[in-house]
Copies of this chain bind each other. A is one copy, B any other.
Amino acid sequence: MREAEVIERLRRIATHPAARGLADDAALLDGLVITHDSIAEGIHFLPSDPPASVGWKLVAVNLSDLAAKGAEPAAALLSLTLAGDSDWDSGFIDGIDAACESYGLALIGGDTIAIAAGAPRVLGMTAIGRAGPNTPARGGARAGDRLWLAGTLGDSAAGLAILQADPKATGVLVDIYRRPVPLLAAGRALAPDASAMMDVSDGLLLDASRLAIASKCSATIDLDALPLSRAFIAERGGGIEARLFAATGGDDYALLCAFPPDFDPALRLSLRSGPTLVCVGTLAAGDAPLNLVGGGGRPVPLPEHLGHEHRGIATSPMADRP
C-alpha cells in the first residue's frame, strides 16, 4: 500500500459529516472546530532550530487551521516526546507557553512520552476552536468567484534559505520563519462571507489547486498580484523568479479565500491594522486545476513543483499545513 492509498483508506473510514471527507483543514463537531497537526524533527523542523521556535510553530500551525475556518481559539492538547535533552524540552515549552499566552489558547491535556535518546522527536497538537457563524470549507467556491489572499507570501521560505546559508543569521525574514503569526482576526473577519477558505502552507500554487479541485473549478493565479513584503523584496527582488519562489516555497501562514465577484472582502478588514488583502486570481469552470499568468496577464508555464508536495501528500493529507 503506497502512501496515497493509506490516505485513501483513511478517507473511506472517515464517513462522518464532521470529518468533511478528511479533505479540509479541520473537523467541525458540535460547534467546535478541531484540528491536529504533528511535526517531526528532520522533516518539519531542524535539530538546530531553537526549541522555543519549534514550540511556537507547533501552536501556530494549528492556530492557522483554526484561522482558516474563522474559529476562535479555545483549547489544546499537547503530544510531547521527551528524548532525554531537558534543555531542549525546557525551551520547547517556553515556546508553547508564549504562543498559548499570546493567542488565548488554554492547554487542557495531552500526553508526554519518553522516546529513546536521540530518536527524532514527533510533536503533535490538537487545537480546538469555537466556530463562528460560518465555517467555510475548501470545496464551497463557485466558478466566477475571485480568489483573495490575506497575508504575504515567501517570507518564511526566504528566512529558511537565509538560515541554510548562515545558521547564525538574523533579521525580519528569519524572525518570520521562527515566529510565524497565525491570522486569527483576519480569519474571523473573512469567514462569514467566504464561499471557500483554507490556509496557505504548502505553497500558494499547490494549495490553490487543492481549493480548485475541492470546489470543482479551475483557478487562475496572477503572479503580478502576489503580496510580497518589503523585507522579501529587499532580499530576493520582485521579479518572476522571486514570485515563483514565493508562490511555491511553503511554510506561509496566509489565508486563501474565495468570494463572489461583486464582493469586496477588504471592507471586512480594518484599514489601519491587520494583514494585506489582495485579489490574486479567479475561479472558472474547467478541468485544469491551475493556470498561471504574469507579466501583464500573459500565460506562464506551471513550475515543476507547485509547493511542498512531500508535505502536501506525505505529511498532510488529513489537515494540510500549517
* 10 A–B contacts from the bound complex (CB under 8 Å): A6-B80, A13-B93, A14-B106, A16-B75, A18-B108, A79-B122, A111-B124, A115-B122, A119-B119, A124-B124
Task: Output the least CB separation between A271 and chain B (Å).
Answer: 35
Instruction: Mark out the residues of chain A between 87 and 125 whose CB falls within 8 Å of any chain B CB in the assembled complex.
Output: 87, 89-90, 93, 96-97, 100, 106-116, 119-120, 122, 124
Main SS class of interface, A? mixed
Asked if residues A75 and B27 are in contact (CB atoms below 8 Å), the reply is: yes
Which residue, A7, A108, A310, has most C-beta atoms of chain B within 10 A? A108
Asked if residues B42 and A109 are in contact (CB atoms below 8 Å), the reply is: no
Asked if residues B29 and A124 are in contact (CB atoms below 8 Å), the reply is: no
Assembled-state Cα–Cα distance A36/B120 (Å): 20
Copies in the complex: 2
Known: A13-B96, A29-B128, A75-B29. A36 touches B6 (CB 8 A): no
Asked if residues A86 and B3 are in contact (CB atoms below 8 Å), the reply is: yes
Assembled-state Cα–Cα distance A114/B122 (Å): 11
Task: Output the least CB separation between A295 and chain B (Å).
Answer: 37
Q: What residue in chain B is nearest A97 (Cβ atoms)?
A: B13
Task: Output the least CB separation between A109 and chain B (Å).
Answer: 4
Contact with B along A1-39 (1 / 0, CB 8 A): 111011101100111101110100011011110111111
Cβ-defined partner of A86 (8 Å) among B5, B29, B42, B315: B5
- In the complex, chain B residues whose CB is within 8 Å of the CB of A90: 1, 5-6, 9
Known: A6-B82, A9-B93, A124-B124. A19 touches B106 (CB 8 A): yes
Assembled-state Cα–Cα distance A93/B13 (Å): 9
Known: A93-B10, A124-B124, A315-B111. A77 touches B18 (CB 8 A): no
Known: A6-B93, A113-B44. A107 touches B14 (CB 8 A): yes
A contact set with B: CB distance below 8 Å:
1-3, 5-7, 9-10, 13-16, 18-20, 22, 26-27, 29-32, 34-40, 42-44, 74-75, 77-82, 86-87, 89-90, 93, 96-97, 100, 106-116, 119-120, 122, 124, 126, 128, 310, 314-319
- In the complex, chain B residues whose CB is within 8 Å of the CB of A7: 112
Asked if residues A119 and B120 are in contact (CB atoms below 8 Å), the reply is: yes
Assembled-state Cα–Cα distance A207/B100 (Å): 30
- In the complex, chain B residues whose CB is within 8 Å of the CB of A122: 79, 81, 113, 115, 122
Cβ-defined partner of A316 (8 Å) among B3, B74, B112: B112
- In the complex, chain B residues whose CB is within 8 Å of the CB of A42: 115-116
Asked if residues A16 and B106 are in contact (CB atoms below 8 Å), the reply is: yes
Q: What residue in chain B is nearest A128 (Cβ atoms)?
A: B29
- In the complex, chain B residues whose CB is within 8 Å of the CB of A319: 109-111
Assembled-state Cα–Cα distance A111/B112 (Å): 18
- In the complex, chain B residues whose CB is within 8 Å of the CB of A100: 13
- In the complex, chain B residues whose CB is within 8 Å of the CB of A18: 75, 106, 108
Task: Output the least CB separation between A35 and chain B (Å).
Answer: 7
Which residue, A77, A109, A315, has most C-beta atoms of chain B within 10 A? A109
Cβ-defined partner of A107 (8 Å) among B19, B31, B75, B110: B19
